[in-house]
Amino acid sequence: MTEKGIVTSTVERNYILTLLERGKRLDGRGLSDYRPIKIKTGIVEKAEGSALVELGNTKVVAGVKLSIGKPYDDYPNKATLIVTGELNPTASPAFRNGPPSPESIELTRVTDRIIRESECVDLEDLCIIEGEKVWTIFLDIYPLDHDGNLFDACAIAAFAALSSTKVPEIKIDEMGEIEKLDTSRSIKLKEIPVSITTYKLGDFKITDPSYKEEDAGDARITIGFTEDHIVSAQKGGFGAFKSQELMDIFESSFKRSKELRSVIKSALNL
């Protein structure tokens, strides 16, 4: 997620590898341990849903806005989902002002894919008039402080914001006009998607990498899970994974996903 070598020198990388040989990391964690996770919802008053996620020192905010629009022709009875993200230079020295960077585009697409492919939102429940009117969900993601593993932090923030979203109740008159009422209801959620990111450093594989560990890494893979299935995967970095390494990562990540999902459920009272 960053321009390689911007924060980690060769000496630091060698030190990180030395620690990994001893089963340790810079912050004292084990190789597969996650940092503490904090989730707070309802932080943006004017949004229909919002959340702030802290994954160690990594902080991400996500917000949801709803509007009434036309459905896609292929899905006349389903709401539309639009995910956007922005990497602001205040969050990391590696981010730059200007048009969306490849890193920003990748982060947005990976987050979009896990939300969309997991089918966590019941989009049919957000249809107003089939083929004519549906709710459009605008899901915006903004990293506030990048200290590693934005992929998993953004996935958590996206789901948490959706889980807190309130949909205005509506009334349709005889002329087909739509009126928003003062009452609201929650979005129906069918799954709790979780992404697990693994970095390869030399011969070692670690989960939930810090900023410096990412910068020192050779390759990355982010896998999206529902309770029972893999729904997405994204490989990054110039290094490669062997077939057996990937099989081991899929198996260990599936176990981590269940643990992470339990943390999310507890934090959101689901």
Cα distance between residue 162 and residue 139, in whole Å: 8
Give residue 180's pLDDT.
84
Instruction: Please report which confidence band the pLDDT of residue 2 belongs to, taking 50, 70 and 90 as the band edges.
Output: very low
* Distance (Å) of CA 192 to CA 9, 114, 162: 38, 10, 11
| Alpha-carbon distances of 55 from 2, 137, 144, 170, 249, rounded to whole Å | 17, 25, 12, 37, 21
* pLDDT over threshold 80, residue 268: yes
Domain ranges of the chain: 10-268
pLDDT at 193 over 60: yes
Per-residue pLDDT, averaged over 133-153, amounts to 96
Contact yes or no for 197/58 (Cβ under 8 A): no
Strands (E), the chain: 37-41, 49-55, 58-69, 80-85, 127-129, 133-145, 166-172, 178-186, 194-201, 204-207, 219-225, 230-236
Q: What is residue 62's predicted lDDT score, i.e. its pLDDT?
A: 98
Classify domain 10-268 at the CATH class level: alpha beta
pLDDT at 59: 98
Express each pLDDT in 158-183 by its tens digit: 999 999 999 999 888 777 778 888 89
pLDDT of residue 171: 86
